[in-house]
Structure 1
């Protein structure tokens, strides 16, 4: 049975493990930055199509093995049956990541791995695959940890957070799988009122609408596994057809978004329109400090502005206490979840968070804070 590794934003590993288990994965093993699991190729297809949390689904083609130098790595890569897995006409790209790797140059070892793959094709097919830095057919991932390395073939292609629906973004976009993870952490469920008063290009709104309508995150895109020689088109087409049949009709949902800036709101409008779900979300232009709750109870979620979106740190420092006051005065009965990289918020909001969850947006360390707003009180 093939073994896989699903990468994800740090902080989402447990949620991703639960999601993969729900798909039927075996031997689920959470670790830093992802989850190892075993399953058949139908499970691989399903994980790519349905996972809202994974960044990539990698097929492990070489277990962790020791090496002493670059030649050891070259030989181990060369010995693998690359022409059995994909065609010489497919373009390739090699990516190397390392932790405490004794090799002198990661660039050089990247070239050695590429040479080993190409040399194997040249020996068996009298031709070699071309390298493509942009949009390659097959991505080969090598992970070095100390004096061992592991090799993977990427079954996803473009990262899975690229759903193919959010083409208009603002300055500080939130990755879609991180937004989906945050929504799951809040406890939000389809049918529960949701408000994003700083919606930007609409990432939270689109993820929530797709969850509500049972629209699979990968339904509108292609995957690298379609280039593999073992690709089962009949099984894949049946899986996609079942996913399309399970979608709910587009209708109004209790999902609300607003933003101070017209350009951001225009991007959200366009993204929802192009995703075919514009009528599901109530959008309006509004200052978050003046926003009113659209319903009696619900969940408020916001990716708070970064410095480049808002201005200097002093301007942000003024925003936090004003936002705290607005929540206290108008959002009694709501649960507010604020995502930020600015930890000054803890003191400046003048509200006590009930939860603080460490997360990463790319390489940026962030926190997700929960504030339970009690009606008629100046404190949470």
Structure 2
């Protein structure tokens, strides 16, 4: 039986997510602002959770109505057959987002949805699930437009960019699904040399290594759908075993990371080890301005320091031209990709961007600048 799903993702990566979902078996794929709608059976839902590198989560549509007041949303919430999907022992959390909703309080809408769910369980089971806002078993998402309300049950649980291993805590981490999307945008392919010269805690490196070794990103974690009453454990195990069987185990990959801060390299080493990738990536403590290219050609990808993160004002603007000179001097033949919220970065580098892709990094309006560095591009 076909079900309807919606997968949110970082804005700007929707077409790439649509490709992923089709590869997982989706039908009726429809791209919208901030995510992708699709249809499919539960084998597809299991596979999408396991395999998608770009989705934030996979939401299962369980209810829809037109509304003019909170009471109609409450009626929808109490009419959904929640007791067929989970039980009163499962804790819940409700998230509400809205675009142009005339209702005055989303907190009140959240309360009315919770009341509707609990009313349903009291009528069917004689009890109600507890609310847990920190670590719930079931996440219910409501999306309001000007006159419609759609209810979703989250099949993922924790966001899918949480790959299942404990990361070293660092300032301004780059989310894994955004890093995976940028790698896809760059056109990098396994076997090509990849360098992140300001690698921080190693997010680009880990994502690239998992892609190169064909490691499904969800292999190290659990999912909310495993607690659904209709969960098909046998089907899930067969999908998971198939993903495990295709994992490669190359000794060393042409993937390189560098950072001027030894503590960041230590963090990257710890994260690679936690992800089961020890010895797959070469790391070096080095200033990007002094770095030698590890190959004659390759893909350079990085999330460099910008005002919100590490530096600001004159100090940063003096640094950009030095970075541009280093690229022109040492990286002819390389394609470089930088994620930044500084929309003036290209001009300050002294390089002409061949492509500018708008992306949202959380609430930050960013660009991925593409620079194709060719021999002789150094200007006086």
Instruction: Indicate the larger mover: 247-256 or 42-51.
Output: 247-256
Q: TM-score by structure 1 length?
A: 0.98
Give the match for residue 257 of structure 2: 257
Give the match for residue 327 of structure 2: 327
For structure 2, the residue ranges without an aligned partner over 5 or more in a row are none
> What is the alpha-carbon distance in structure 1 between the residues aligned to residue 347 and residue 257 of structure 2?
27
CA deviations 1:77-110 (Å, max 9, x no partner) are 1011111111110000000000111111100110
SS at match of 1:337: strand
Note the C-alpha offset of 1:321: 0.5
> What is the alpha-carbon distance in structure 2 between the residues aligned to residue 316 and residue 333 of structure 1?
26
> What is the alpha-carbon distance in structure 2 between the residues aligned to residue 270 and residue 362 of structure 1?
25
- For this pair of structures, how many residues does the alignment match? 378
Task: Answer yes or no: is the 8 Å Cα contact 1:26–1:38 preserved in 2.
Answer: yes
> What is the alpha-carbon distance in structure 2 between the residues aligned to residue 172 and residue 301 of structure 1?
17
CA deviations 1:85-140 (Å, max 9, x no partner) are 11110000000000111111100110110011011101111110000011100000
Note the C-alpha offset of 1:377: 2.4
Give the match for residue 124 of structure 1: 124
Task: Answer yes or no: is the 8 Å Cα contact 1:250–1:277 preserved in 2.
Answer: no
Is the alpha carbon distance of 1:175 and 1:166 closer, same or farther for their aligned partners in structure 2, counting shifts above 3 Å? farther
Task: Answer yes or no: is the 8 Å Cα contact 1:85–1:229 preserved in 2.
Answer: yes
For structure 1, the residue ranges without an aligned partner over 5 or more in a row are none
> What is the alpha-carbon distance in structure 1 between the residues aligned to residue 166 and residue 341 of structure 2?
23
> What is the alpha-carbon distance in structure 1 between the residues aligned to residue 200 and residue 250 of structure 2?
22
Give the match for residue 16 of structure 2: 15
SS at match of 1:216: coil
Counting only pairs closer than 5 Å after superposition, residues 190-339 of structure 1 correspond to structure 2 as 190-307=190-307, 309-339=309-339
Give the match for residue 42 of structure 1: 43
> What is the alpha-carbon distance in structure 2 between the residues aligned to residue 190 and residue 70 of structure 1?
51
CA deviations 1:11-55 (Å, max 9, x no partner) are 000000111111121000000000000000000000000001100
Note the C-alpha offset of 1:166: 5.2
CA deviations 1:254-293 (Å, max 9, x no partner) are 0000001111111100000111112110001000111110
Counting only pairs closer than 5 Å after superposition, residues 96-107 of structure 1 correspond to structure 2 as 96-107=96-107
Give the match for residue 83 of structure 2: 83
Show structure 1 runs of 4+ deviating over 3 A. none
> What is the alpha-carbon distance in structure 2 between the residues aligned to residue 30 and residue 287 of structure 1?
41
> What is the alpha-carbon distance in structure 2 between the residues aligned to residue 3 and residue 137 of structure 1?
21
> What is the alpha-carbon distance in structure 1 between the residues aligned to residue 360 and residue 251 of structure 2?
33
Give the match for residue 155 of structure 2: 155
CA RMSD of aligned residues (A): 1.0
Task: Answer yes or no: is the 8 Å Cα contact 1:5–1:59 preserved in 2.
Answer: yes
Note the C-alpha offset of 1:241: 1.1
> What is the alpha-carbon distance in structure 1 between the residues aligned to residue 15 and residue 309 of structure 2?
31
CA deviations 1:136-170 (Å, max 9, x no partner) are 00000000010111110000000000002351142
